Structure 1
Amino acid sequence: MSAVETGKADVARWDARYRTDDYVFGTEPNAFLASQAHRLMPGMSVLAVADGEGRNGVWLAAQGMNVLSVDASETGLEKARKLAAARGLRIATERVDLGEWDWGADRFDAVVAIFVQFADPALREAMFDGMQRTLKPGGLLLLQGYRPEQLKYGTGGPPDADKLYTADLLRDAFAGLELLHLFEHDSVLAEGAGHAGMSALIDLVARKRRSPPARYSTEG
């Protein structure tokens, strides 16, 4: 199967998974993301990466932020818009292939990436590069994922070890950012049927460094 065919199969799988009245990962925000509310301010522009059915993007909008929720599944995005409307909120949505999408430069005050672990190492590298590039100077990256120890729990996430995160992997991937918080822990998740039970997690918060001040020559 070609990469294109594999990608289409993955989208079809997510569309099928989301094609239910229930929200697979619940309708409340990820606990780690909610715990970082003190770092976020109303009016910020936020990119919610692979936001699925919108639980995190909608929560961000409820905090007064301008949210772009992107995902490969139009079925998931439809549910995200429905969830936002039910709460009297509005989010922008865009169906994208994150391997091909133009992330742009210096667009967002924050990027939120919660369990975006469908990506093989090559796609993950491209996504991590895009996340850093699209942040404005001083912008924040908030990321949570599963560690390899998650395979013994089997309570969510991919079955492939190469799609999971270690502290060293994240330090290397985001070496150009200012690391504010990196924490490995085993905690119970209760995020719908999709993430339920004891889980091996890693949390990261990092800031894009501001450009150094311009140096002006006094020579004439």
Structure 2
Amino acid sequence: MTPADPVQFWDARYGDTDFAYGDQPNDFLREQAALLPPGDALCLAEGEGRNGVHLAELGHRVTVQDLSAVGLAKARRLAAERGVSIETCCGDLQEFRPRPESTDLVVAIWMHLPPPLRASVLAQAIAALRPGGHLILEAYSPRQLALGTGGPPSIELLVEPEQIRRELTGLELLVLVERQRQIHEGPYHHGTSAVVQAVGRKPAARTP
């Protein structure tokens, strides 16, 4: 079940002075980004900007997208405090259309969407990657409902590994795993969690 007014919900969540999910990057993103060269990066449903700011600190040219103007204002403040710059894009993923082959990295951390929209967004993300580019994703699986340590309370918004495998068709999957791990990201993600992690690489262009 999604909020009746998602903008109002997320603006309220990000309205506190503290960061709802902390100001440090997601652990899986941190691990995987350390393996990649700097380039252009696009972070989807990025909220208060912690992952995008981390990528900027690594030398990436970063654009962060989110529905909440309140969250993105905090993202810009966090970037300024860390001495880096990011671009922000406020809008609904239903209307978001990144340019084809415009980025080297797409990040989707906790991007929980209804399945048809998620599939559409991921297809556009793949199209937005340049040859050789990467997509990094982490999301809660349905096993998370029994744990209650974060994420949406609706099974419709949680993901199975096989769904992600299908939706990332067109990428070489370097990582696709479901696991339980400890997550400590602010007050809303805290404790043993059931997640799906994926990293895909777009095949390099073939030389004639």
TM-score, length-normalised on structure 2?
0.96
Amino acid at match of 1:71: D
Shift of 1:31: 0.3
Which secondary structure state, in structure 2, belongs to the residue aligned with residue 36 of structure 1? helix
SS for the counterpart of 1:97 is: coil
Could you list the runs of 5+ residues in structure 1 that have no partner in the other structure?
215-220
Q: Which residue of 1 aligns with 2:144?
A: 150
Q: How does 1:127-206 map to 2 (within 5 A)?
A: 127-206=121-200
Structure 1 letter corresponding to 2:192: M
Please tell me the root mean square deviation across aligned C-alpha atoms, in Å. Answer: 1.4
Identity across the alignment (%): 43
Q: Is 2:54 the partner of 1:37?
A: no
Q: Which moved more, 1:202-211 or 1:10-19?
A: 202-211
What SS does the aligned partner of 2:55 have?
A: helix
Secondary structure at 2:8 match in 1: helix
Matched, 1:23 2:19: yes
| Residue matched to 2:47 | 52
Please report how far the alpha carbon of residue 210 of structure 1 lies from its aligned counterpart in structure 2 after TM superposition: 2.3
Question: Secondary structure, in 3 states, of the residue corresponding to 2:37?
Answer: coil
Post-superposition Cα deviations, 1:60-92, rounded to whole Å, max 9, x if no partner, equal 001111000110100000000001111111111
Which amino acid is 1:74 matched to? A
Residue 38 of structure 1 and its aligned partner are, at CA, apart by 3.2
1:131 Cα deviation from its structure 2 partner: 0.9
Range moving further from structure 2, 22-31 or 156-165: 156-165
Partners in 2 of 1:98 and 1:197 — Cα distance? 29
State whether structure 2 residue 115 is matched by structure 1 residue 121: yes
Query: Structure 2: which amino acid aligns with 1:125?
Result: A
Matches within 5 A, 1:100-111: 100-111=95-106
Greater CA radius of gyration, 1 or 2?
A: 1
Show CA shifts across 1:17-43 (max 9, x none): 11000100000000001111332223x
Q: Secondary structure at the match of 2:149?
A: coil
SS at match of 2:162: helix
Structure 1 counterpart of 2:94, one-letter code: G
User: CA–CA distance in 1 between the matches of 2:10 and 2:145?
Assistant: 21
Which whole-Å CA distance do the structure 2 matches of 1:40 and 1:194 have between them?
A: 29
Q: Which amino acid aligns with 2:96?
A: W
Counterpart residue number, 2:201: 207
Provide the C-alpha distance between the structure 2 equivalents of 1:175 and 1:90, rounded to a whole number of angstroms: 32
TM-score (norm 1): 0.91
Q: Which moved more, 1:143-152 or 1:175-184?
A: 175-184
Structure 2: where are the runs of 5+ without partners? Answer: none
